[in-house]
C-alpha cells in the first residue's frame, strides 16, 4: 500500500512531465501509423503538396487541439466579448500580462505538433516526398543536367536504387531530413532552457516561495472543482426535491454574479501583497471588510 502511495505521489508531483510524455508517445504512434499505412507518395509533380500536407497539416491540427483542450484558453476567452470594461483590473489591459499567460499555453500546445514534425523528419518519408518536388532540390541535384534528372528526382521516393544514384555525390534527401530533425530538437531544447532560465531569473520571489505559490494554485483548483461539484449537486437536489414535493426551498447560498466575476479575473502573483490567487484575495478582502 505504501508503494502505491509513492507511485501516486510521484505522478501528482510530475503530472506535467508525465502528461507531455504521454502526448508525445501518442503522437509518435500516430505518426508511425500514418507513415506506414496511410502515406503513399504519388511520385509526380504533386509530390511537394502531398508530402508537405502530411508533414505540416497534422502538426497544425495538433497545435489547435492543444489550445482547445487547455482550460486556460476558455478561461481567457469566456465572457470577454460581452462583459463590461473593468478598468485597470481587466486582464487584457497590459501586453505583459497577456504574454505571461500566452507563452506557457503556446508551449504546452506545441508539444504534440513539434513531436510530430521531429519524428516525421527522422522517418524521412514525408520530407523526401515533399523535397523531391521542390524547385530548390531540383537546382541542388539537377543543376545543368536537363529535364531527365527532374523526372528522375520526382520518382526518388518510390525507387531506392534511383535515390542512391542521384544522391551518390550529394547529401541524400533522407539524410537531409534527419539532419533537420536533429537541428529542430536541438533548437527546441535550447529554447526551452533559455526561456526557463529567463523566467526563473525574472521571478519576483525566491525559489521556495514560488514553489509554494505553484503548489497553492494547483491545490486550490483541485479543491474548488470538488467543492463546486458538491455545491452544484446539493443545489440540484434541493431544487428537484422542491419541484416534485411542492415544498418551499430552504435558504441556499449562491455566489452573486459580481462575486463570480471577481474570482474569475486571471491573476499573476504580486510579491507586494500576500495573495496567491483571486479567490485568496477575495476571501481575505471580504473578511477584512467585515
- Asked if 173 contacts 156 with a C-beta cutoff of 8 angstroms, the reply is yes
- Asked if 259 contacts 285 with a C-beta cutoff of 8 angstroms, the reply is no
CA distance 132 to 124: 12
Tell me, what's the pLDDT at 121?
92
Tell me, what's the pLDDT at 228?
94
pTM to 2 decimal places? 0.78
CA distance 40 to 281: 58
> What are phi and psi for residue 225, nearest 5 degrees?
-65, -45
Q: Tell me, what DSSP letter sits at residue 289?
A: H
Tell me, what's the pLDDT at 4?
43
pLDDT (tens place) for every residue of the chain, 290 residues total: 555 444 445 444 555 666 677 777 888 888 888 777 888 888 888 899 999 999 999 999 999 999 998 888 888 777 777 655 444 454 444 566 667 778 888 888 998 899 999 999 998 889 999 988 888 887 877 776 666 778 888 888 887 777 777 666 567 888 889 999 999 999 999 998 998 898 888 888 888 988 898 899 889 999 999 999 999 999 998 888 888 886 676 778 888 888 898 888 777 777 777 888 889 988 888 765 54
What are the respective helix, strand and coil percentages of the chain, to the nearest 5?
75, 0, 25
Tell me, what's the pLDDT at 87?
44
Tell me, what's the pLDDT at 5?
44
CA distance 13 to 25: 20
Tell me, what's the pLDDT at 6?
46
Q: Which three cell numbers stand for residue 11?
A: 505522478
Neighbours of 285 (CB within 10 A): 12
> What are phi and psi for residue 219, nearest 5 degrees?
-65, -35
| Closest to 283 in 3D by CA, of 237, 234, 223, 210 | 223
Tell me, what's the pLDDT at 88?
45
The set of residues, in sequence order, having a beta carbon less than 8 Å from that of 108 and lying 6+ positions away, is: 20, 66, 70
Tell me, what's the pLDDT at 10?
44
Distances (CA, A) of 271 to 38, 61, 210, 265, 280: 54, 39, 10, 18, 14
Neighbours of 288 (CB within 10 A): 7
Query: What is the SS3 assignment for 182?
Result: helix
- Asked if 254 contacts 238 with a C-beta cutoff of 8 angstroms, the reply is no
Tell me, what's the pLDDT at 289?
57
Q: Tell me, what DSSP letter sits at residue 110?
A: T
Tell me, what's the pLDDT at 178?
92
Query: What is the SS3 assignment for 168?
Result: coil
b/e string for 48-66 if b means 16 or more Cβ within 10 A?
bebbbebbbebbeebbeeb
Amino acid at each position: 500500500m505504501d508503494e502505491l502511495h509513492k507511485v501516486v505521489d510521484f505522478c501528482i508531483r510530475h503530472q506535467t512531465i508525465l502528461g507531455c510524455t504521454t502526448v508525445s508517445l501518442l503522437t509518435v504512434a500516430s505518426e508511425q501509423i500514418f507513415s506506414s499505412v496511410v502515406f503513399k507518395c504519388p511520385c509526380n509533380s504533386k509530390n511537394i503538396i502531398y508530402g508537405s500536407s502530411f508533414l505540416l497539416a497534422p502538426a497544425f491540427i495538433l497545435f489547435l487541439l492543444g489550445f482547445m483542450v487547455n482550460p486556460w484558453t476558455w478561461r481567457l476567452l469566456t465572457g470577454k466579448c460581452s462583459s463590461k470594461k473593468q478598468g485597470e483590473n481587466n486582464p487584457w489591459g497590459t501586453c505583459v500580462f497577456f504574454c505571461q499567460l500566452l507563452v506557457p499555453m503556446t508551449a504546452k500546445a506545441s508539444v504534440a505538433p513539434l513531436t510530430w514534425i521531429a519524428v516525421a523528419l527522422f522517418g524521412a518519408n514525408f520530407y523526401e516526398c515533399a523535397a523531391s518536388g521542390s524547385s530548390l532540390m531540383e537546382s541542388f541535384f539537377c543543376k545543368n543536367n536537363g529535364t531527365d534528372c527532374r523526372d528522375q528526382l520526382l520518382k526518388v521516393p518510390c525507387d531506392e536504387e534511383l535515390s542512391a544514384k542521384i544522391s551518390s555525390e550529394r547529401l541524400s534527401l533522407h539524410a537531409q531530413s534527419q539532419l533537420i530533425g536533429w537541428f529542430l530538437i536541438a533548437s527546441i531544447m535550447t529554447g526551452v532552457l533559455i526561456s526557463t532560465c529567463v523566467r526563473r531569473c525574472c521571478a519576483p520571489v525566491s525559489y521556495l516561495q514560488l514553489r509554494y505559490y505553484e503548489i497553492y494554485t494547483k491545490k486550490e483548483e483541485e479543491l474548488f472543482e470538488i467543492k463546486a461539484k458538491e455545491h452544484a449537486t446539493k443545489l440540484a437536489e434541493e431544487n428537484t426535491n422542491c419541484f416534485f414535493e411542492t415544498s418551499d426551498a430552504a435558504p441556499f447560498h449562491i455566489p452573486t454574479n459580481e462575486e463570480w466575476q471577481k474570482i474569475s479575473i486571471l491573476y499573476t502573483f504580486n510579491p507586494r501583497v500576500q495573495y496567491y490567487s483571486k479567490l485568496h484575495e477575495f476571501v481575505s478582502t471580504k473578511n477584512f471588510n467585515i
